[in-house]
Amino acid sequence: MRYHPRYAHAFKKQYKKLQHSGLKKIATALDVTIETLLPYRAHKLVGRLEGYYECHVQPDWLLVYRVCEDEKILELVATGTHSSLFE
């Protein structure tokens, strides 16, 4: 099932920083499916981030996202290390 990406402002800024650091492996753009995120330990978040998901792109590099099933949108919300995202 195909989803259209939507990029949150914070995600765009964080992604730009990661590109400068040489980390380019990320769930990109135009043909993102939920199934492609499953090998990266995708799981639901709880608490104040209920309704969001997280997957591990690398052991300490996360991608936080939200899925809108009605509109078939995958919103990329944030990316970074555990400490940079959850402090």
Whole-number Å distance between alpha carbons of 27 and 49: 20
Mean pLDDT value across the chain: 78
CB atoms within 10 A of CB 9: 8
**Positions marked active-site:** 82
Which pLDDT band, with edges at 50, 70 and 90, does 8 fall under? very high
Cα separations in angstroms, 67 against 7, 12, 21, 53: 12, 17, 28, 8
Fold for the domain defined by 4-85: YaeB-like fold (3.30.2310)
Report domain extents, the chain. 4-85
Predicted pLDDT of residue 20? 64
- Residue type at 50 in one-letter notation: E
3-class DSSP assignment, residue 12: helix
Tell me the whole-structure pTM to 2 decimals. 0.74
**20-61 residue pLDDT tens:** 665 555 544 333 556 666 666 788 999 998 999 998 877 888
Predicted pLDDT of residue 55? 86
Predicted pLDDT of residue 45? 92
